Amino acid sequence: MFAEGTLVMYGSEGVCRVVRVGESPFDSAPAGRLYYTLEPLFSSGTIFAPLDVPVIIRPLMTRQEADELIDSIKHMDTPESVSREPKSAESLYRRYMSGYEPASLLALIRCIHHKNKGSRKPYNQTDERYFHRAQALLYGELSVVLGIPVEEVEDYIRARVES
């Protein structure tokens, strides 16, 4: 269980702060059932997540893990080849996104970038959607862990990879 005030990664919502752990504020919820009350850092709203339902919620990576992930870019193999057919590509993209793990999100970003490298055409809608979603999740987490604004994460990565 995560304590109040803890920052966590919550599935496709990204970085959230645990505001409260307790019963639901809704009358229709079963008595005694515990929920996380989460506030996303990079979007608005409140999330009520039951503790007894398997959802992807995990602690943020550490700064050391973030730097190791970024440093690993230098040694990564060429990304997996992806079909130009959006439905086939989407199946692969879903697999990368399924666990919302930093290494998988990075691999997805690299995969889509590599697929479209050298192309004069803009990304198709599927590539665009998954690329930006993976980037938002990964860069949001890196921003918090590294203590820099989201807008500076790409420059941080580039500088670290080039050094």
Domain chopping of the chain, boundaries: 7-59, 63-162
Give residues with Cβ within 8 angstroms of 99, minimum separation 6.
Answer: 56
Q: Is 142 exposed, middle or buried (0-12, 13-18, 19+ CB in 10 A)?
A: buried
Give residues with Cβ within 8 angstroms of 148, minimum separation 6.
Answer: 156
Give residue 18's identity as a one-letter amino acid code: V
Which pLDDT value is given to residue 25? 76
Backbone angles phi, psi at 139, to 5 degrees: -65, -35
Among 3-7, 51-55, 75-79, 86-90, top mean pLDDT goes to 3-7
pLDDT band at 78 (very low <50, low <70, confident <90, very high): low
Residues pairing with 36 in the sheet:
21, 49
DSSP label of 41: S
pTM: 0.89
Positive or negative CA dihedral for 47, 48, 54, 58? positive
Q: What is the mean pLDDT of the chain?
A: 89
Q: For 15-53, what is each residue's pLDDT tens digit?
A: 999 999 988 777 776 778 889 999 999 999 999 988 888
Q: For 3-12, what is each residue's pLDDT tens digit?
A: 999 999 999 9
Under 8 Å between Cβ of 18 and 4:
yes
CATH class for the domain made up of 63-162: mainly alpha
Rounded Cα–Cα distance for residues 131 and 154 (Å)? 14
Residues pairing with 20 in the sheet:
37
pLDDT band at 80 (very low <50, low <70, confident <90, very high): low
Positive or negative CA dihedral for 58, 46, 141, 116? positive
